[in-house]
């Protein structure tokens, strides 16, 4: 029986064992030399950060518990600011409105002072301002005056006589209107004791109100009586003459209640005087002298500029056509009496 030869294990194992034991002893002595604090540094760091973590938790808790109070404070501050803004806005609006009101009143006062008794500044909102009255007066001459002329001339009256009747009627109505308007205004100023310097705006309003007032019944009755006497009862009852008188009254009253009043040239006896080409235009013939007035001129106010050119007949010699007409009528009357 034979045995196989094997390596000598005991000796080899001894060497490995000694080598392992040496390494283990070395590790143990190395561990003995190492400080406990150096073994696991992160543990030390985590141990030191615990108070800091606690502190951070406390801060977080304080922030969480203080948020509602902070929000309430912000809300209260916003409400206060909004209220203050609203009050300030209201004050600004009130002050702006008051300022605008003062500007308007000042402008009205200055406008009233400028327009008061100043016909050169026209109130464009006034439908009866002087320029409008001028147009009405011109249309009145072309329409109602012409219609009335055709009615009266049929009564076998001369042209000069008919023109004179219509002219005298217009001038008479104008004079009565200006007298009545002036008297009424003076009565109002006296009764209400207006101060011309401090009550300028009130006076302006009063004068503007007067422009909307129509002639009263008393004035209309007085004018109707005067016109009946001028034209005669039969002629006065004609609807064309009634329209002439009514239209003339409306225009003349509107001229009289202007402040200052529109002025009509009532100097109608000018035969033989040099013709005034600045204020009158010729009627049917030309010449250097007045023969008779056909239709009166209008002026913006007393001593003011010309508003409307009148119409007048001219004559070329010293002999007036009115005189010729009167002579013809006198001769005709004499012939009739002789024939009788």
CB atoms within 10 A of CB 235: 19
Residue 176: its pLDDT value, please?
96
Whole-prediction pTM: 0.60
Write out pLDDT tens, residues 210-259.
777 788 889 999 999 999 999 999 999 999 999 999 999 999 999 999 88
Section 29-34 average pLDDT: 53
What is the enclosing helix (H) or strand (E) of 293?
A: strand 289-295
How confident is residue 201, by pLDDT bands cut at 50, 70 and 90?
Answer: low
Q: How far apart are CA 254 and CA 257, in angstroms?
A: 5
Question: In the sheet that 289-295 helps form, which strands lie side by side, from edge to edge?
Answer: 280-282, 310-315, 289-295
Phi, psi of 79 (to 5 degrees): -60, -45
236 contacts: CB under 8 Å, gap ≥ 6: 227, 228, 230, 242, 245
How confident is residue 1, by pLDDT bands cut at 50, 70 and 90?
Answer: very low
Place of tokens 């009233």: 112
Q: How far apart are CA 60 and CA 82, in angstroms?
A: 32
Q: How far apart are CA 215 and CA 71, in angstroms?
A: 77
Whether 22 has a pLDDT exceeding 60, the answer reads: no
Write out pLDDT tens, residues 106-128.
666 555 555 555 555 556 667 78
How confident is residue 331, by pLDDT bands cut at 50, 70 and 90?
Answer: very low
Write out pLDDT tens, residues 86-104.
999 988 988 888 888 777 7
Q: How far apart are CA 65 and CA 260, in angstroms?
A: 85
What is the enclosing helix (H) or strand (E) of 299?
A: strand 298-299
């Amino acid at each position: 029986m034979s045995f196989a030869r094997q390596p000598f294990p005991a000796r080899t194992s001894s060497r490995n064992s000694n080598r392992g034991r040496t390494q283990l002893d070395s590790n143990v002595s190395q561990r003995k030399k190492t400080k406990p604090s150096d073994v696991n540094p992160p543990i030390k760091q985590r141990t030191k950060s615990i108070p800091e973590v606690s502190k951070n938790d406390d801060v977080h808790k304080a922030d969480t518990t203080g948020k509602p109070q902070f929000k309430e404070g912000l809300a209260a501050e916003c409400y206060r600011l909004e209220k203050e803004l609203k009050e300030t806005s209201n004050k600004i609006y009130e002050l702006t409105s008051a300022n605008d009101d003062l500007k308007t009143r000042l402008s009205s006062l200055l406008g009233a002072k400028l327009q008061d008794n100043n016909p050169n500044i026209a109130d464009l909102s006034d439908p009866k301002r002087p320029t409008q009255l001028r147009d009405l007066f011109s249309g009145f001459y072309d329409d109602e005056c012409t219609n009335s002329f055709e009615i009266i001339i049929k009564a076998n009256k001369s042209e000069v006589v008919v023109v004179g009747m219509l002219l005298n009627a217009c001038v008479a109505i104008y004079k009565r209107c200006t007298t009545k308007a002036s008297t009424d205004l003076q009565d109002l100023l006296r009764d209400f004791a207006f101060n011309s310097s401090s009550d300028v705006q009130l006076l302006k309003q009063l004068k503007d109100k007067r422009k909307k007032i129509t002639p009263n019944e008393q004035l209309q009755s007085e004018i109707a009586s005067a016109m009946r006497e001028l034209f005669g009862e039969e002629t006065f009852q004609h609807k064309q003459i009634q329209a002439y008188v009514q239209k003339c009254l409306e225009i003349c009253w509107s001229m009289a209640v202007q402040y200052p009043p529109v002025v009509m040239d009532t100097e109608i006896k000018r035969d033989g005087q040099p013709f005034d080409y600045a204020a009158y235009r010729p009627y049917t013939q030309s010449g250097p002298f007045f023969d008779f007035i056909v239709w009166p001129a209008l002026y913006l106010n007393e001593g003011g500029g010309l508003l409307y050119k009148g119409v007048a007949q001219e004559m070329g010699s010293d002999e007036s056509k009115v005189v010729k007409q009167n002579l013809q009528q006198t001769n005709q009357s004499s012939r009739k009496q002789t024939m009788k």
